[in-house]
Amino acid sequence: MSEEPATDAKANPDTAPSAAGMTADGTGDTPAAVPGAGMVADSTGASAPQSRSADIVPGPGGVMTDEVGVVTGELTLRTEYADGKVTLRVQYKDADEWYVVTGGLVALPDPAGLDAVHAVAVALLNRPEG
């Protein structure tokens, strides 16, 4: 295995290896134009309300809600994040009213976990084969 001799980045800046505006010795050379650097995925802020939705068909017994009891048939599940909490809601597909899933309110300190919570909720509640 052969090794190349190290070069002095300040002596020959045109051939010095760099990444995102940094020279080989770790000092900043010029400002880097890196799209998205320092940005969060949700540019409205990490604590802004967010939601995910999916159409589901629950298995026998349906989904228990706080407001109206059991709902069955074709439903839409919405997983909402706001103020450090996740709330699961369901509605009859294309209806206007939403109902809170019984037991479907939990603290979630990091909104980055919203997709995972939604995926688990869909996996648990969507049982079209029974």
pLDDT tens track for 55-70: 999 999 999 999 999 9
- Cα 14 from Cα 99, distance rounded (Å): 63
Task: Let me know the angle formed at the C-alpha of 78 by 126 and 101, rounded to the nearest 5 degrees.
Answer: 75
Mean pLDDT of 27-40: 46
- Cα 111 from Cα 36, distance rounded (Å): 19
Lowest mean pLDDT among 30-44, 60-74, 89-103: 30-44
Residue 104: how many CB atoms within 10 A of its CB?
A: 21
